[in-house]
Amino acid sequence: MYPRLKQKEVEAFFTLADIKVLAVKELIDGYGYSAADERFYTTLPRCAWYFVKTPYGWIEIGWRKNVMSIDWKDTLLRKKLDVKEQTTSEVTYIHAWEEEKALKYLKLLSQELKELDKKPENFPAFPVAYGERGWTNGMTLRDYFAGQALIGIISKGTIEKEWYAYYTDDAYEIADQMLKRRQQ
């Protein structure tokens, strides 16, 4: 039988990891079994998964067979957590083999999210709402500003291909200045 997380345990994990919980939504059988597949509903225990709304976006957590899955694809962070143990992980998720490791990984995730929060260029320019889980990232504000600056730069006439890198560098310099100015 797979472990079953309770909502209070999930909230405690996030609190201990110093990630503010804004809301929690339960997802029954988050491992991917559909209601149409009766065979799984009758043979496997129902394992609760949760979507946890944080100031950084939604984080999904739940037991996936013998590991606890922590998925932050609905945040702006796209970085593998720096862990020494051998575990399955990518730029938007990690698997913990025990609850202590899950807490450790949530603490690392908290640090990365707080660091990301200090960089205004990483905020989405046009977040798009979808479903119950919130929003998609869209392009960053820095990319949007650079794109607008580039339009102004190339509107002066045709440019030669060998100058593309210079113009894009200039566009990002302008974008960085715009972001600095926003913070004043």
Domain layout of the chain by residue ranges:
7-117, 136-182
Angle at 111 between CA 110 and CA 113, to 5 degrees: 65
- State residue 58 phi and psi, 5-degree precision: -90, 140
Q: pTM of the entire structure? A: 0.63
d(CA 129, CA 16): 29
Give the model confidence (pLDDT) of 62-101 as tens digits: 988 788 999 998 887 888 899 988 999 988 899 999 999 9
Give the model confidence (pLDDT) of 102-158 as tens digits: 999 999 999 999 887 676 656 666 665 555 555 556 677 888 899 999 998 888 777
d(CA 26, CA 184): 41
